[in-house]
Amino acid sequence: MEIDRNILVSYFLGHSSEEEKAAIKRWLESDEAHKQQFVSERICFDASVIVDEDSILTPSVRETNVKGLIRTMLRIAAVIVVLFASGYSYWHYQNGQTANKSMLTIHVPAGNRTSLTLPDGSLVWLNSNTTLRYPGVFADKERTVELNGEAYFEVQKSAKQSFVVKTAKYNAKVLGTTFNIEAYANTPDFATALFTGKVKLYKDLREEESLYLNAGETARLVGDTLQVSKTNINSYRWKEGLIIIEDKSFEEIMRLFGKYFDNQIIIRNNHVKKLAYHGKLRIADGVDHALRVLQNDFRFTYKRDEDTNTIYIY
């Protein structure tokens, strides 16, 4: 028994009819090798949508500097090859229900960002240095993904399955919502900005102590407490490839550059640390262009250590 690959692609896109879903189920049950093929097809599908077009088209790719070209292409390749399936036993059916499933993991290295479509058709944009784990099929009562980093979600509405983003700090539960969540496990920061719909924030085993956000609100972790404020849309334009800087100090800007670009930045010029700046930068233009723009307003020089990929500000 064989299956048309176009049917699988339609399923990954969330466009399958009930008849096609039933055909896929029969195909998977008919042969153990089909489960491995399903995993392989899912990996290929996801890899096909995670190449960042802005990175491919960035001027740095067109430069004659061979080292810069190689570094850029390796970074693009890194986004693709880190996608993998943890195990080959993808679906095991018991009494017509899914009892077990493998997880797919995608990691976006520092200096990159990407987007993909989840099995239910929900869209997600992943920011720099972010890891997302998700099942190849949302077969449980909840559509659950695990996030370490920052992501922007456009969740397909489902009355039968709520959508849950698990992080090291708080979890977010929605039905059909557009929101941004930042939760890097190695930092104390946590923030969720809601653009449409409603979101519920809670900790594992303490769901009764939840906080609900309405559209236009942002919850940010301050100490041990979530504080709610009005959402600043400009803070989340990273998915468009933009860094919008509004009254941030030079030191805060360098931390942003460390997040968006593949560099460690060390400030050795104390005079510029507290000075504020307003402006807009394109991530695709690279860190050197961003620093040259800042030099129009700040008196500093910088030096790059190519061996350690570190930039020193003087």
The count of C-alpha atoms lying within 13 angstroms of the C-alpha of 254, restricted to the half-sphere facing its C-beta, is: 23
Predicted confidence at residue 100, as pLDDT, reads 41
Confidence band, pLDDT 50/70/90 cuts, at residue 35: confident
Task: Choose between 37 and 190: higher pLDDT.
Answer: 190
Question: Rounded mean pLDDT of the chain?
Answer: 79
Predicted confidence at residue 7, as pLDDT, reads 83
pTM equals 0.67
131, pLDDT greater than 60: yes
299, pLDDT greater than 80: yes
Q: What is the mean pLDDT of residues 59-71?
A: 46
pLDDT tens, position by position, 74-115: 454 444 444 443 333 333 333 334 434 578 899 988 778 888
Confidence band, pLDDT 50/70/90 cuts, at residue 309: confident
- What DSSP letter does each residue of the chain carry, written as one string? ----HHHHHHHHTT---HHHHHHHHHHHHH-HHHHHHHHHHHHHHHHTT-S-HHHHH-HHHHSS-HHHHHHHHHHHHHHHHT-EES-S---EEETTEEEE--EEEEEE-TT--EEEE-TTS-EEEE-TTEEEEEESS--SSEEEEEEEEEEEEEPPP-SS-EEEEE-SS-EEEESS-EEEEEE-TTSS--EEEEEESEEEEEETTEEEEEEEEETTEEEEEETTEEEEEE--GGGGGGGGTEEEEEEEEHHHHHHHHHHHSS-EEEE--TTSTT-EEEEEEEGGGHHHHHHHHHTTTS---EEEETTTTEEEE-
Task: Choose between 197 and 30: higher pLDDT.
Answer: 197
237, pLDDT greater than 70: yes
Confidence band, pLDDT 50/70/90 cuts, at residue 274: confident
HEC assignment per residue over 45-72: HHHCCCCCHHHHHCHHHHCCCHHHHHHH
Q: What is the mean pLDDT of residues 256-263?
A: 84
Task: Choose between 21 and 293: higher pLDDT.
Answer: 293
